[in-house]
Amino acid sequence: MTARRIPDRSAIPPNHQWDLTPLFADDTEWQTLFDQLTSELPGYARYQGHLGDSAEALAAAVTFDLDLSRRIERLYTYAHLKNDEDKSNQAHMAMYQRAVSLYSRASELSSFMRPEIMAIPAETIQTYLTSEALADYRFYLEKILRHRPHTLDGPMEEMLAMSREMAQTASQVFGQLDNVDLSFGTISDGISGETELSHGNFTTFLQHPDREVRRKAFFQYYTAYENHQNTIAAALAGTVKADLFYTRSRKHATCREAALFGDDIPLAVYDNLLETVKTHQDPLFTYLDFRRGALGLDELHFYDTYVPIVRDIAFDMPYEEAVATCLEALAPLGSDYTDVLRKGLTGGWVDRYENRGKRSGAYSSGCYDSPPYILLNYERANINSLYTLTHEAGHSMHSYLSCRHQSYVYHGYTIFVAEVASTFNETLLSAHLLKRYQDDPRMQAYILNREIDNIRGTLFRQTMFAEFELRIHALAEAQEPLTLDALTGIYHELLTAHFGDHLVIDDALKLECLRIPHFYSAFYVYKYATGISAAIALANRVMRGEDRACDDYLRFLTLGGSQFPLDELLAAGVDMRSPAPVAQAIAHFGRLVDELKAVFSTL
């Protein structure tokens, strides 16, 4: 049998690649703009020291900065997409590095603007904000001015800026150790022979039908972290201490308050998430007990929580059929939405298939002046590729509609709402597939199992992570030591609290807290849990046919960053200041578990 070979980029038909000509006709045109922007960068100097002269002077400086940023983003987008097509292409790697360098240079030269804006006397800036000259930038400036109480004088701000690179040391140490130096050995699955265990295939091994293979992969993987546990604990403690340094420097009460301040997220949103999940655990416990029984196990371990309950599901869906399926699932959003998406998915937005040197995984990416491109590595025999396509289509349509309805200054939406559109699409897709396969109970069980595990990993698991972050930062704020025992002790307590007697907590599992990269970006993970809660609430409104549900959701997709994220979600029909959406998401999870149990009983 001839082994399947990954094709070179040149072997991929052009109609299966994204079309980047809306950005630049070719690399030469890119170079022309690069040279032009390089010559324009010194233009920042004529605005420095003059932002407070008048409303018109401030407007001119902001306009110059945003216009330059917009064109640099266009350069960067083209360069990073070309670089991701084939990582071995040295010309495009150099182009990408030059784009990053240009962006960094622009950021450096414009760094005077925020401090100068905040240095304008309060009465003066309030007068400016009522002027016609700044009408288009009012909310943009108000967001900057919110930081005034937490901004220091010029020399101190310069000192904090200089310290940023140093403060990244802990994250860089973890990144190098985790991605380069850690070795996990090899695993034999009894079929393919010895395979090197890695971050990339760890979950694949946890999905292996042979429990001994799963168990061996789990303990072997965590042995590598055990061998470096003191070093990683020191790195994690270091990043928490850096968070505390900047929190106190900027006069925030807590690290969590500092992290939530920029998006204007009340602490109650975070607290509601933790409390609601903690008090609504019964559906999770029911699912874990059902999973244990369905797998025929006496006790359930972590390495038993990824393997599909229903295995050997035959699936084959060419890309073109996947697009059609995606559009059918999203039909409740109306033909205006699906017609745009159809043209994009079949006409140049998507780089569809794997080629040698191409970046792995998937993403949606673009800029204000480009289509919302999608990178895929589509596999027709894998249902996850269908879900990935639908997920990224959600991001792309969010970007498309934001860019069409907002000016450049407000087109970008925040991370807090970024996963709502993508998860919304996945929820509609699962509902559609359950109807399509209503006469195939094995496929129905497989889809339900997949959806349940997705919610479990995104809502329940990320909430546990969020509570861990809160507790370790509270330790630092109380000047308590962040030792290895303190970190793993807290994590073991949380595992016990979140899983009770329904999962055997192997001692190695407490080391999981040492391998989560997001812990080096403080108070980020809770947004996954709030995002999926909002998405499920909005999707259920649309699927129930509630009055204005579809219109409200589509309007939300047009808002970009023109409002704070909680206000945007409220306009869509979900109030994340209330615990209700999280409770509703857990209830949705519980209904899926009940459906899975009923379908599984017929197999």
- Give one DSSP letter per residue of 238-290, joined into a string: HHHHHHHHHHHHTT-SSHHHHHHHTTT--HHHHHHHHHHHHH--HHHHHHHHH
- Per the DSSP assignment, residues forming a β-bridge with 504 are 301
Annotated active-site residue 392? The verdict is: yes
C-alpha closest to that of 259 among 470, 529, 457, 421: 470
Strand 363-365 and strand 350-351: pairing? unpaired
Count the helices and strands in the chain (H runs, E runs): 26, 5
Q: Which helix (H) or strand (E) holds 350?
A: strand 350-351
Catalytic residue among 392, 451, 467, 568: 392
Tokens 């997949």 identify what position?
Answer: 450
CB 250 within 8 A of CB 150: yes
Main-chain dihedrals φ then ψ at residue 342, nearest 5 degrees: -60, -45
Residue 491 neighbours by CB distance under 10 Å: 23
364: helix, strand or coil: strand
Main-chain dihedrals φ then ψ at residue 375, nearest 5 degrees: -100, 125
Task: State both tokens at 123.
Answer: 């009465």
Strand 194-196 and strand 363-365: pairing? unpaired
In whole angstroms, give the CA distance from residue 229 to residue 244: 23
Beta-carbon contacts of residue 560 (< 8 Å; ≥ 6 apart): 402, 403, 405, 406, 410, 411, 412, 413
Question: Which residues are tagged catalytic?
Answer: 392
